[in-house]
Amino acid sequence: MKVIGLIASPRGEKSNTLRLVDAVLAGVNDEGGKTELVDIYSRDIKYCTGCLTCYATGDCPLIDDFPDIFDRMAYADGIVFGAPNYINSVPAPMKALFDRLSDAIHCQTLTGKFGCSVCTAGGSGESEVIGYMNNVLATLGVTVVGGVGTAVGRDASALGKAEEDSRELGKRLARSIRGEIAYPEQDEAHRQRREYFGQMIKNHRESFAHQYDWYVGMGWLKEEEE
């Protein structure tokens, strides 16, 4: 079992959000899993230009660290997003990462994986940011097992409780990966999402050539005769 944590905080080792991500990964370790942490702020992630090359070929013309980060996500069984609240959203480096995932969303490349999110805020908004990050996971085909957030500006002591909750979240993530917890409603939502994107890709078969081939190869679309 392999779980990757992606942390987007400019505060480095002083980050409160990092403490929550570390706690989730510790919970995975408690259950016998292996973990990896990637600091998004230390990586080069260029902005998506909307060229749509990835739809046609599966490759992005931008040269940066995105392919390495995505490969690590693709080979993991679980994904943890961690970000502080920046105006009820995530910091720019993580948003840049999300924007580069369009092809993966269409292809539902991360289907079968499990994930969760954690967030720290000053006064409020942590729930909104967790909801946003977990929605990104779900849109990618990932089954969401939960989230933990806390507003340290309201109560500095709340961070310790959030760390405990995050460790338990990590254990739930590991147990979900092992198949010990079922998510039938999300399974159905994933199926419907694949059908939606599959129909869209079929309608744009020529310009979405890579994605069409992916869906046919996965058995999600029947190849049409020329």
pLDDT of residue 226: 47
Q: What is the mean pLDDT of the chain?
A: 94
The pTM score is 0.94
Closest CA to 134 of 71, 80, 93, 86: 80
Q: Give the Cα separation of 166 and 114 in Å (integer).
A: 15
Read off the pLDDT of each residue in 26-52 and give the average, rounded to a whole number. Answer: 96
CATH architecture observed for domain 2-182: 3-Layer(aba) Sandwich (3.40)
CB of 142 closer than 8 Å to CB of 110: yes
DSSP per-residue codes, 158-188: HHHHHHHHHHHHHHHHHHHHTT-S--HHHHH
Q: What is the pLDDT of residues 97-115, one digit of tens each?
A: 999 999 999 999 999 999 9
pLDDT of residue 196: 96
Q: Tell me the percentage of the chain whose pLDDT exceeds 90.
A: 88
pLDDT at 139 over 90: yes
**Which region holds residue 102: left if phi is over 0, alpha if psi is between -120 and 50, else beta?**
alpha
pLDDT of residue 21: 97
Read off the pLDDT of each residue in 177-182 and give the average, rounded to a whole number. Answer: 97
SS3 123: coil
Q: How far apart, in Å, are the Cα atoms of 192 and each of 160, 186, 189, 216?
A: 39, 10, 5, 17
Read off the pLDDT of each residue in 146-168 and give the average, rounded to a whole number. Answer: 90
Domain boundaries, the chain: 2-182
